[in-house]
Amino acid sequence: MTSSERPWTAFYSPDMRPEIEAASYRTISDLIRSASDTFGDTTAFTACMPNGMNGSLTFAQVDEMSDAFAVYLREVAGLAQGDRVALQMPNGLAFPVAAFGILKAGCVLVNVNPLYTADEMAKQFQDAEPHALVIIDMFADKIPEATRGHPIPNIIVTRVAEFLPWLPRTLIGLVQKYKDKTVKPIEVPHTRFPDALAAGRTRRSRENIEVDVYHQSVEPGDTACLQYTGGTTGVAKGAMLTHENLIMNMEQSLEMIPAIKRGEETILTALPMYHIFAFTLNLLAFYWLGGRNILIPSPRPISNLKKAFENYKITWLSGVNTLFNALNNEQWFRDNPPKHLKMASAGGMALLADVAKRWEEITGKPVLQGYGLTETSPVLSFNPLGQVRDGSIGVPIPSTLMRCVDDDGNTVPVGERGEIAAKGPQVMAGYWNKPEETAKVMRDGWFLTGDIGVMDADGYFSVVDRKKDMILVSGFNVYPNEVEDCLASHPGIFESAVIGVPDDDTGEAVKAFVILDNSSLTPEEIRAHCKKHLTGYKVPKIIEYREDLPKSNVGKILRKDLRAEA
């Protein structure tokens, strides 16, 4: 593309780099070490519980602890460079220690949703073949079923209150074990996370190990993370995100936000860091910035955020439409909006205009909407500060090309609909062990997003439709085939079809059209069956009984007709 074909650069601020020639660091491990050395004893992470109990780690502590975990993985667990390590936990102090340790060890981080059922875990483990799993104790009871047929040799178990001071850690543990009963006996051999760190420290001290040796041979183009996403078939695919992908996307995104200052920010991280949006922006970017990261283990109910807003000077918040809408509707938030907030960023799902308007009325600060996908690390476009356009996903970020194409890959005229295609240093290396799937979405170096969009004359993009059948529930992907497969496994269901329908709370909701097989199943019974095999946001919210479903002349169920009806 020539400069005339990139009209969006006219909306870049004068101090922005339209092109980023190369990443500032070879690997994420180098970035972590640099930031740790720069900010040392400054607080890096604070875990804030709903009742206000909290604990913190400095940059120096995170650096030392992640070093110890890297040594444990390589010297005690016996992993090698490139081996996969699954990380399955919500936001907490153990997350950055484990994630950074995995990367420092030269291993590949595999982010796993902690809310997954054993069936969902099994599919991801079978594909990624991790050599180790770091999992929170609340969900460790799923391990035997999830690893049947493909065992994981090293299991490391952590807690939601890990690294908090002794008193809150003990109180939370007692409540979980005896009152809430959310922690069950662990029936597989495992190592406790603090014991793993202690073993790593001992080995490092005894053998005088230099941790940086582990990642000296890691190249910028090597895979750092396997970030799983689904597909039109419902098959889990691991997007291979390289060190260069993630570092470049961090730098590209920060170019769009000149108001952010190193060493001065406090970000509230309510989005789970296993999600690529929070992983790149909240975890990596704000660590490099020297910001203080306030971690929320669970943002539901939304009142779980109240103490964090009261006790910390939040300058930045990232979220999805669901989060902003929920806060808008909380009386305590409206009565006392954050006084130090500079702005907020939205991604993961469409930001509704009314939600954005109410947010700015309440806080006096805008929400900047962006757009991206797991496969693009994730950010592709962002609304420039002070030049936000309602309903737009903004303009391509530096070093990124975007266009709308027809079915033959030809660029469509300005203002016409086409599939959004993107090219840039943040585009994944491909899908793990799935070259055929990779070939479906990559064309001459361009990544086909599956979203139908429009580019206006100024280079602002808007998403107008989805080419794929994917449903977006609160920023999380739901694939109809996966839900339909689950429904089909019930003997009382003859046939089903699943679509997404608009929902005020979650953006979209899962709706199932069901034909029963001589049974009298209730919607509650159908949902109960789904909950055994699918995580909560995939379970149909709406169930409609049908005598038949619209089909093509070859018998394929026409979801598009059902969507048109809805």
Same domain for 65 and 204, yes or no, is: yes
Q: End-to-end CA distance of the chain, in Å?
A: 40
Range of the domain at 501: 471-565
**Residues 404, 529: one domain?**
no
Do the domain assignments include residue 161? yes
Q: Is 348 helix (H, G, I), strand (E, B) or coil?
A: coil
The C-alpha angle with vertex 58 and arms to 54 and 63, in degrees rounded to 5, equals 125
**Are residues 494 and 443 part of one domain?**
no
Residue where one domain finishes, among candidates 183, 198, 218: 218
- Is the Cβ–Cβ distance between 417 and 454 less than 8 Å? yes
Q: What is the pTM of this model?
A: 0.88
In terms of DSSP bridges, do strands 367-372 and 343-346 run parallel, antiparallel, or are they unpaired?
A: parallel
Domain boundary among 437, 466, 495: 466
**Shared-domain flag, residues 436 and 554:** no
| Residues 441 and 525 grouped into a single domain | no
**How far is residue 349's CA from residue 561's CA, in Å, rounded to a whole number?**
23
Query: Which residues, at least 6 apart from 309, have a Cβ–Cβ distance to it below 8 Å?
Result: 268, 333, 336, 338
Determine contact, residues 493/43, Cβ cutoff 8 Å: no
Tens of pLDDT, residue by residue, the chain (566 residues): 455 679 999 999 998 999 999 999 999 999 999 999 999 999 999 999 999 999 999 999 999 999 999 999 999 999 999 999 999 999 999 999 999 999 999 999 999 999 899 999 999 999 999 999 999 999 999 999 999 989 999 999 999 999 999 999 999 989 888 888 888 889 999 999 999 999 999 999 999 999 999 999 999 999 999 999 864 345 679 999 999 999 999 999 999 988 889 999 999 999 999 999 999 999 999 999 999 999 999 998 999 999 999 999 999 999 988 889 889 999 999 999 999 999 899 887 677 777 888 999 999 998 988 999 999 999 999 999 888 888 789 999 999 999 999 989 999 999 998 999 999 999 999 999 999 999 999 999 999 999 889 999 999 999 887 667 888 899 888 888 788 879 988 999 988 999 999 998 898 999 999 999 877 899 999 999 999 999 999 999 999 999 988 876 545 688 888 988 88
Q: Is 280 inside any structural domain? A: no
Q: Kindly state whether residues 428 and 545 are assigned to the same domain.
A: no
Last residue within a domain, chosen from 187, 218, 249: 218
